[in-house]
Amino acid sequence: MPHEKSIKPRRETAESKAETTKRVSEEMMQTEAAARNAKTMRLRAARLAQEDTAPTPEPTKRRKK
């Protein structure tokens, strides 16, 4: 058997670790923002639908003192 060099995993530099961390955190923030916006739109649509079906309250008359 010929002597083969074992392949060692290359160590990441501190800069590449920072880039990886930054990329992952940005992806997480974008995912969370998209979920938050979807929830906001869903709740807004539900509120508007509820306001359309709710009767408008009559203004109360003030008492004279």
pLDDT (tens digit, 9 = 90+) per residue, 6-41? 777 777 787 799 999 999 999 999 999 999 999 999
CA distance 50 to 20: 45
CA distances, 39 to each of 18, 35, 36 (Å): 31, 6, 5
Task: Check the CA dihedral 13-18-19-23 and report its sign.
Answer: positive
Q: Where are the domains of the chain?
A: 18-50
Between 10 and 47, the more confident residue is 47
Q: Is the pLDDT of residue 65 over 80?
A: no
